[in-house]
Amino acid sequence: MKVKNRKDYRTRRHYRRRKKIAGTQERPRLCASVSNKHIYVELIDDDAEVTLASSSTASAKSKKNVESAHLLGKTVGESAVKMGVKSVVFDTGGHKYHGRIKAVSEGAREAGLKF
């Protein structure tokens, strides 16, 4: 696959990282995805191929900035703790770990999740 643009670079990074991480029932995968308008976060059990919980800034009707990403991480973290999940595997979706992605993970840590 010849790399043509930034999206291709991100896709290749994502495939490369996903070969090494997988979510289980005890330790699901916390997948963060960023679009131009919104941020989406899911808790995924890859063994059973089931989404345990999900949330986005589209449902919260908030903006796409770092503060809303932090609140989104807190929301998903609190719902995961209610379900009995204590630790997760973090999947950045091929994005760099800074800005909105970092804010999501910090919010989830504040809610009580361990990475």
Q: How high is the pLDDT of residue 4? A: 83
Asked if residue 40 belongs to a domain, the reply is yes
Nearest-CA neighbor of 107 among 67, 52, 70, 60? 70
Which pair of tokens denotes residue 67?
A: 């503060």
Asked if residue 37 belongs to a domain, the reply is yes
Asked if residue 1 belongs to a domain, the reply is no
- pTM for this one? 0.83
Q: How high is the pLDDT of residue 71? A: 92
CATH, residue 102:
3.30.420.100
73 or 36: which leads in pLDDT? 73
pLDDT for 8-61, tens place per residue?
A: 888 888 877 877 787 778 889 999 988 888 899 999 998 888 999 888 888 766
Q: Where are the alpha helices (DSSP H) in the chain?
A: 6-18, 57-60, 66-83, 100-111
Asked if residue 83 belongs to a domain, the reply is yes
Q: How high is the pLDDT of residue 69? A: 92
Number of domains, the chain: 1
CB 39 within 8 A of CB 56: yes
Q: Which domain holds residue 49?
A: 6-111
Asked if residue 25 belongs to a domain, the reply is yes
CA dist 49 and 59 (Å) reads: 23
